[in-house]
Amino acid sequence: MAMLSRVPFQLTGRYAERNKWEVVNGPGDSRPTALEVIEDEGLVRTMSDKVVLITGVSSGIGPETVRAMVSTGATIFATARKLDQAREVLGSSLLENGAVNLLFMDQTDLSSVQACAAEFRQRSDGKLNVLINNASVMKTPEGRTKDGFELQFGTNHLSHFLLFYLLKDLLLSSSTPESHSRVVNVSSSGHRYCPVRFDNLNFEGEYNGWAAYGQSKTAMIYMTNQIERLYGAQGLHGYSLNPGSFVSPNLQKFCQEEMEETKSDERKMKYFVNIQQACATSIYAAVSKDLEGRGALYLEGASVAGPVPPDGDVIEYGYGEWAYDREKEEKLWEISKKLVGVE
Query: Active-site residue among 217, 245, 284, 336?
Result: 217
At residue 202, what is the residue type? N
Name the strands in the sheet holding 100-104, side by side, starting at the edge strand that comes first in the sequence. 11-12, 303-305, 297-300, 236-242, 181-186, 130-133, 51-54, 75-80, 100-104
CA–CA distance, 27 with 25 (Å, rounded to integer): 7
Q: Residue 36 is which amino acid?
A: E
Cα–chain center distance at 113? 17
Using DSSP's 3-state secondary structure scheme, residue 145 falls into coil
Other beta carbons within 10 Å of 312? 17
Element (H, E) at 37: helix 34-40
Task: Clarify whether 213 is annotated catalytic.
Answer: yes
Three-state DSSP at 228 gives helix
Residues 165, 193, 213, 271: which is the catalytic one?
213
Beta partners for 12? 304
Tell me the CA distances in angstroms from 203 to 198, 206, 337, one per residue in order: 10, 5, 20
Residue 25: CB atoms within 10 A of its CB come to 12
Write down the catalytic residue from 187, 188, 189, 288.
187
Nearest to 226, CA basis, from 317, 142, 157: 157
Residue 217 annotated to the active site: yes
Contacts of residue 195, Cβ cutoff 8 Å, sequence gap at least 6: 214, 215, 218, 322, 328
Q: 128 with 188: CB under 8 angstroms?
A: no
The secondary structure of 288-304 as a DSSP string is: -GGGTT---EEEETTEE
34, containing H or E segment: helix 34-40
Reply yes or no on whether 207 is catalytic.
Answer: no
CB 280 within 8 A of CB 303: no
Which positions are catalytic?
Answer: 187, 213, 217
